[in-house]
């Protein structure tokens, strides 16, 4: 199966979008080779602005371009984007500016770079900002679709991408829509709502569980805000057993978003799988996933535990 990092999908789509929409501009904080924004910069240098290691300047520049009628995509490492959080809040979010912020190298999947570079709080931070859309693609193909969808969407957004290669699970006919989740696997005993890299771990966990005669839904929640409340409630009612899986702190991310929906609409058995309010360490992504309980085997084990409670 073909593999690619979601950051590759981001870079590829920017280049394609730049060819058909002259209003698209890209601002980067000296990391274009890592975020893959450099693909756009090499082709359209007159529309590519690098601010150096100055993320506040990156956001300010993007904001200025947006009020000038341009469609700016601003990108850096997810953890570095937080240096400019106050600018994002007071300039972009508060004024509903049409700035598309992308944070690359998210989660503990960043691996060997260590905890200083592993953003596990970014979804929580940006989800708390009014007017902000928060997205996380499951594969490079979905990342491409997101970039194009954001060009049509008028307003601020945060898109979270990764550097590790993951299988391509979406075909060319896949239609991404902001605010809509998708069912990737049918089930009946429980549902796993997953996002980003964890979609793949959830799919593998579903195969493990099938061998134990347990059938679970796997749903890709690629829009974390606004979350697909209808889908969350529908699958919760069908299973009465909900699991969330994310490469992010369990506080404030996908698990919290799902819990908020269910707490007000359909309380049921629920387990959040993610980084348990602690910083990780340096290591290979698969090793870190095993150690911190984010791998498919750990997910399957947690699903079996919660289903036993249900019974």
- The per-residue pLDDT for range 110-141, each reduced to its tens digit, is 999 999 999 999 999 999 999 999 999 999 99
Q: Which domain holds residue 192?
A: 182-310
| One domain, residues 30 and 159 | yes
| One domain, residues 9 and 158 | yes
| One domain, residues 155 and 83 | yes
In the numeric block, the tokens 């280049």 are attached to 15
- Answer yes or no: are the C-beta atoms of 174 and 84 closer than 8 Å: no
- Answer yes or no: are the C-beta atoms of 104 and 35 closer than 8 Å: yes
| Average confidence (pLDDT) over 223-242 | 98
Read off the pLDDT of residues 165-203 as tens digits, 9 standing for 90 and up: 999 999 989 999 999 999 999 999 999 999 999 999 999
Residues acting as catalytic residues: 55
Q: Tell me, yes or no, whether 194 lies in a domain.
A: yes
- Total domain count for the chain? 2
Whole-number Å distance between alpha carbons of 24 and 265: 40
- Answer yes or no: are the C-beta atoms of 104 and 77 closer than 8 Å: yes
């Amino acid at each position: 199966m073909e593999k690619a990092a979601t950051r590759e999908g981001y870079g590829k789509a920017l280049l394609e979008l730049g060819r058909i929409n002259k209003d698209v501009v890209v601002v980067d904080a000296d990391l274009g080779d890592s975020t893959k924004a450099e693909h756009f910069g090499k082709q359209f240098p007159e529309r590519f602005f690098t601010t150096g290691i100055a993320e506040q300047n990156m956001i300010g520049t993007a904001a200025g371009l947006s009020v000038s009628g341009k469609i700016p995509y601003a990108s850096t490492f997810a953890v570095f984007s937080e240096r400019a959080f106050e600018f994002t809040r007071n300039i972009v979010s508060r004024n509903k500016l049409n700035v598309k912020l992308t944070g690359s190298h998210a989660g503990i999947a960043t691996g060997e770079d260590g905890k200083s570079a592993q953003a596990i709080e970014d979804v929580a931070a940006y989800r708390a900002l009014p007017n902000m859309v928060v997205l996380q693609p499951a594969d490079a193909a979905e990342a491409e679709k997101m970039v194009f969808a954001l060009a049509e969407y008028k307003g601020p957004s945060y898109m979270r991408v990764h550097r590790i290669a993951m299988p391509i699970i979406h075909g060319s006919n896949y239609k991404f829509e902001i605010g809509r989740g998708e069912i990737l696997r049918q089930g009946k005993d429980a549902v796993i709502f997953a996002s980003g890299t964890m979609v793949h771990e959830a799919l593998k966990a579903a195969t493990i569980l099938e061998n134990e005669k347990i059938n679970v839904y796997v749903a890709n929640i690629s829009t974390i805000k606004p979350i697909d409340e209808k889908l969350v409630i529908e699958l919760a009612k069908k299973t009465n057993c909900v699991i969330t899986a994310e490469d992010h702190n369990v506080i404030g991310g996908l698990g919290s978003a799902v819990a908020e929906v269910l707490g007000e609409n359909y309380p049921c058995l629920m387990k959040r799988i993610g980084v348990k309010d602690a910083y990780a360490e340096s290591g290979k992504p698969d090793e870190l996933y095993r150690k911190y309980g984010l791998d498919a085997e750990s997910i399957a084990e947690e699903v079996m535990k919660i289903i036993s409670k249900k019974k």
